Structure 1
């Protein structure tokens, strides 16, 4: 097994009952069945699913990417423009209102979420956190027009009776990634942090700072919301989804700390020798990732089920999450 590959199961005959085995996979499977609670509405014949999650607030999903827009009496506020929805966003908006898009909010600078922002009117007001604006200024990508309004920590947008609170709360995914909150109807949008019904995207959602990413789960739960739009997958989220993912990453952190305390590089050296340092370190990481993956996939969770029974993709990406967590703990050594 490499640090980026699922572990190979092995029996533990150290006494008592053998440890339960987890099913390892390669890119071709076999994969654990996706829990029913992870599945959402499939795209319709037009290629997307459109749903009014609250009066005037619409969620749109193409199956792997999603976003939302808000229809007001003074225009439409839209958040992001995933290229996966390039041909669908404007028709979807026009299917429910004749109001023009007047405001565009960028959740962050990543192309897979705002790479089709050129579909909106050129005179629309575009709002982003200053880190996002700086990054886009460097890219000079016509598909991601520069924001016209930027802010450092907070910005409130009020249009036609809708009030959106935009807030930057640190490097929880990449610098500039913001919370977007419609407080009157209790709708929260935060992209690339929570993955409703699934484990996070590979390597803890490629978070720029793993420890800030973990903290984000607690920050999300400080908001009073009952609908959450997360940027990915086939359904919008709930508070329960956030609590479940928080349990997963916290258990991952605990298991990774345990592995760092118990996996001995001296024992690895008996297999690899010490001359080839990279072989030695690779063996060390393999053993640590294997230990964390075994712990995560064989230990019952708070409701008695395994993670493969609660979150889609737990068997696929837990080894990758384990590597990222081990690295963050080993290199940064936080309290």
Structure 2
């Protein structure tokens, strides 16, 4: 059990550092059928959504550039149609590093205007002391929006809706109305502590508000594609939201009492959640420090 937890923690630590030296030969792209003509692809980085049909392919997020050939290979097993649109849920490297490869195929890239802004320039991630280099023009969104954008494709009504200051300042949620599927991007990490990017104006309260909005739009039969983790549902998303509400409450109380970061770390205020959520992407202490920084910055 300890070795398993260590493996997941180290795997995500590498991913979140946006390193450029992954051994991509070892990465396997797995495909999960979500509903009708919608699939979830997992490899290394954020979960990819794919909708296929006679009108072509709509793709959500692109993971890492060295994986593009494998990703396209996995998609080609689902459909021989061309990728028509690539929608970025937000700007982070593990969701957009493949943009340039996809863009070179003439695919139209779509994202919130803040995503294009951040991808257009070198961007610093404070939590990992990492500067992520800008993408070239071919990897940038060519269609941007402020609040929402709609697609009518493959007999499906698709809504891409901006969620203000959640995981970052450019997050979008994608609803497939007829299929009853939603892709949350990194607003939702299923099964482990989430990363909230303070340097990209992420906010715990914003994530909670975004999750509340998603919950208001779905039902018990909705399939939920998270930004990271296994395919999910409304019940698990409710647990995630309730967890964030409780952690947020605890952290705000400690900060209001004047506790320093060092004192809070020593208190281990999230210890009762660590066993269930601390064995994945972020080790408990790293998550606690990031969470403190986000809550402190948004007071």
2:93 maps to 1:111: yes
Q: Using a 3 Å threshold, how does the CA distance of structure 1 residues 217 and 136 change in structure 2: closer, same or farther?
A: same
Instruction: Find the aligned partners of 1:160 and 1:228 in 2 and give their Cα distance.
Output: 20
1:241 aligns with 2:224: no
Tell me, in whole angstroms, the C-alpha distance in 2 between the residues paired with 1:82 and 1:188: 19
Partner of residue 90 from structure 1, selected from 72, 96, 102: 72
CA distance in structure 2 between the partners assigned to 1:87 and 1:52 by the alignment: 20
> Which one has the largest radius of gyration?
1
Q: Which moved more, 1:90-99 or 1:64-73?
A: 64-73
Tell me the residue number matched to 1:271.
none
For 1:48 and 1:90, locate their aligned partners in 2 and report how far apart those are by CA, in whole Å: 10
User: 1:255 corresponds to which residue?
Assistant: 250
- 1:289 maps to 265
Question: How far apart are the structure 1 equivalents of 2:4 and 2:225?
Answer: 30
Instruction: Look up the SS of the partner of 1:222 in the other structure.
Output: helix
1:228 aligns with 2:216: no
**Higher RCO (C-alpha under 8 Å, 6+ residues apart):** 1
Consecutive unaligned residues of structure 2, counting only runs of 5 or more, are 9-25, 123-133
1:317 corresponds in structure 2 to 283
Task: Work out the CA distance in 1 between the residues paired with 2:170 and 2:60.
Answer: 14
Tell me what 2:156 maps to. 162
Q: Distance in 1 between matches of 2:154 and 2:100?
A: 24
Distance 1:33 1:133, change over 3 A: closer
* Residue 172 of structure 2 corresponds to residue 196 of structure 1: no
1:87 CA drift (Å): 2.7
SS at match of 1:53: strand
Q: Per-residue deviation at 1:168?
A: 0.8
**Any conservation in 1 of the 2:194–2:281 contact (CA below 8 Å)?**
no
Q: Is the 1:192–1:205 contact (alpha carbons within 8 Å) kept by the matching residues of 2?
A: no
Report the Cα offset of residue 173 of structure 1.
Answer: 1.7
Q: How does 1:1-335 map to 2 (within 5 A)?
A: 47-62=28-43, 65-83=46-64, 85-120=67-102, 122-138=105-121, 141-142=135-136, 145-201=139-195, 208-224=202-218, 226-233=222-229, 235-262=230-257, 284-291=260-267, 293=268, 295-298=269-272, 307-313=273-279, 317-330=283-296, 332-333=298-299
Larger helix percent? 2
Query: Could you tell me how far apart the structure 2 residues matched to 1:202 and 1:131 are?
Result: 16
Question: Aligned-residue CA RMSD in angstroms?
Answer: 3.2
Relative to the length of structure 2, the TM-score reads 0.76
Whole-Å Cα distance in 2 between the matches of residues 30 and 61 of structure 1? Answer: 19
Give the TM-score of the pair, scaled to structure 1: 0.69
Divergent runs of 4+, >6 A: 202-207
Rounded Cα–Cα distance in structure 2 between residues aligned with 1:155 and 1:183: 14
Q: Quote how far apart the aligned CAs of 1:256 are.
A: 1.9
Secondary structure at 1:221 match in 2? helix
Shift of the 255–205 alpha-carbon distance from structure 1 to 2, 3 Å rule, reads: farther
Identify unmatched segments of 5+ residues in structure 1: 1-27, 35-44, 265-283, 299-306
Mapped contact 1:198–1:313 kept (Cα < 8 A): yes
